[in-house]
Amino acid sequence: MRGSGLFRHNSWIDAAIWAIAHAVNDGYPTLYLALLPALMIRWHFTESQAGLLAGLLAVTTQALQPIMGIWADSRGGPWFIVGGLLIGSLGNALGLAWAPSYTIFAVVLMLGGLGNAAFHPHMAALVSQSVLGHKGRRMSGWMVSGMIGHILAPLAAVAVWQWGGKFGVAGLALPGIAAAGLLFSSARTIPTLSRPRRHPVKVEWANIWHRGRAFFVLVALRNLGIASLLTLLPIVWHQRGGAFTQTGALLAVVYSLGMIGNVLGGSASDRWGPRPILIGSLLGASLAAVGGAIGTGTGWPFWLTVAVWGFAVNGAGAVLLVYGQSLFPGRLGMASGLTMGVGNTVGAFGAWAVGIVAQAQGTAVAILVAAGCLAIAVVPTLWVGSTRTTGGASGG
């Protein structure tokens, strides 16, 4: 069945392989979060160093995505996703299992992030190029597969840590190797990106900055809040006496509700445009984070607050990606890389600063700081265009 349904260029078998690979790939960078309390004890590092991990990981998983995206635009081919998935799976799993210190783990984590940077821009651009209409809903649907990986990864990490120790954690590389093998077996069916043959699109950086500066500020502030709160969540849980075995379940709740929020937000943006979805997502996530900061204990109110935060903060995920692509017509790989790269990296390093606040003033104050960043991010949304996502990323 080619030329119909969700994907124009691929059979449903190929589409299923893409989704499986995306789920497996996106699970790897989140593995360490579920194990963060145990790693802090194992390598004796502080909250600020925990926040620094988010920034260091973003250097390779996010900051290098524009370069990988430009490379994908000019070269194309399946090796970005096949090789990227293989590198990411080996780096993240083996680093968690065998790294002897915080410093070495940070280096290996960054190396594993190179695979993620190679995988994402090419895949996101292929999906955007291969769908017909309603891009917000379609892109959010593809992003669901990645969020399934986010849901399963923390559960798997805690389980193998408890039952298999280092060898069990090292075994987490196997799903990535298997998924890379599936992609390799279907490599001939993976299309290259459509590129102009005679007149390539000229990238006018001054115009891009003029049109997109408010957008990048929005992305940076949003990701600062997200990266900080995701880092603080397992730490707060551990400080309040929560069981380590439930850390994975806590993160799975965040990502499960986030998946629902992502789908609903993408569909709503097709109808009402990105601005109301962005504002609602940011304010809802900020209020939920404040509720978590002022609460105590690990009972159902805490779980409910975490669920609401996960739902709210992910409601704008697909909206941001598609709008970012609309800023760069004809350069979908670069657009995906910049959308998921530059602003996210700046925001992730902000998690280091929030970690310093947590170390000096306590985690409750740090959560309030992160919540404030989400609220402040509403301001640049007033300058973000209101084009509906249905056709905004056509890319030509």
pLDDT digits (tens, 9 = 90+) for 373-385: 999 999 988 876 5
Q: How many domains does the chain have?
A: 1
Per the listing, tokens 């779980």 go with: 303
Which carries the bigger pLDDT value, residue 131 or residue 155? 155
pLDDT digits (tens, 9 = 90+) for 115-139: 988 887 777 766 666 655 555 556 6
* Cα separations in angstroms, 369 against 192, 217, 353, 354: 43, 17, 10, 7
Tell me whether residue 395 is in a domain. no
Least confident of 254-258, 271-275, 372-376, 392-396: 392-396
pLDDT digits (tens, 9 = 90+) for 220-251: 899 999 999 999 999 999 999 999 999 999 99
Least confident of 29-38, 241-250, 320-329: 320-329
What pLDDT was estimated at residue 5?
Answer: 37
Tell me whether residue 386 is in a domain. no
Cα four-point dihedral sign 44, 48, 51, 52: negative
What percentage of the chain exceeds 70 in pLDDT? 76
Q: What are phi and psi of 27, to 5 degrees?
A: -75, -30
Closest CA to 121 of 87, 70, 191: 70
Region 141-164: mean pLDDT is 89
Count of alpha carbons within 13 angstroms of residue 331, beta-carbon side: 22
What pLDDT was estimated at residue 395?
Answer: 31
Region 20-32: mean pLDDT is 93
Helices in the chain by DSSP H: which ranges? 12-27, 31-34, 36-43, 47-58, 65-75, 79-98, 102-130, 135-170, 173-185, 205-239, 247-272, 274-294, 300-313, 317-326, 332-340, 342-361, 363-376, 378-381
Least confident of 20-29, 70-79, 318-327: 70-79
What pLDDT was estimated at residue 344?
Answer: 83
What pLDDT was estimated at residue 390?
Answer: 40
Q: What is the DSSP letter of 259?
A: H
Tell me whether residue 7 is in a domain. no
What pLDDT was estimated at residue 311?
Answer: 96
pLDDT at position 286 over 60: yes
Position 268 confidence tier, pLDDT thresholds 50, 70, 90: confident
What pLDDT was estimated at residue 336?
Answer: 58
Closest CA to 312 of 343, 339, 281: 281
pLDDT at position 53 over 90: yes
- Interacting residues of 323 by C-beta distance below 8 A, sequence separation 6+: 215, 274, 339, 384, 385, 387, 389, 392, 393
Q: How many residues does the chain have?
A: 396
Question: For residue 39, what are the domain limits?
Answer: 12-193+204-381
**Rounded to 5°, angle at Cα 195 from 333 and 114:** 30
- Residues 165, 83: Cα–Cα separation, whole Å: 27
Tell me whether residue 33 is in a domain. yes
Tell me whether residue 390 is in a domain. no
Position 252 confidence tier, pLDDT thresholds 50, 70, 90: very high
Which carries the bigger pLDDT value, residue 34 or residue 335? 34
What pLDDT was estimated at residue 213?
Answer: 76
What pLDDT was estimated at residue 171?
Answer: 96
What pLDDT was estimated at residue 46?
Answer: 95
CATH code (residue 165): 1.20.1250.20
Amino acid present at 74 = S
Closest CA to 312 of 226, 390, 232: 226
Tell me whether residue 1 is in a domain. no
* Cα separations in angstroms, 167 against 86, 107, 170: 19, 20, 5
pLDDT digits (tens, 9 = 90+) for 166-218: 999 999 999 999 999 988 876 555 555 554 444 455 555 565 566 667 888 88
Closest CA to 310 of 260, 380, 355, 367: 260
Region 290-310: mean pLDDT is 92
What pLDDT was estimated at residue 71?
Answer: 73
Tell me whether residue 73 is in a domain. yes
Q: What is the mean pLDDT of the chain?
A: 82
Tell me whether residue 3 is in a domain. no
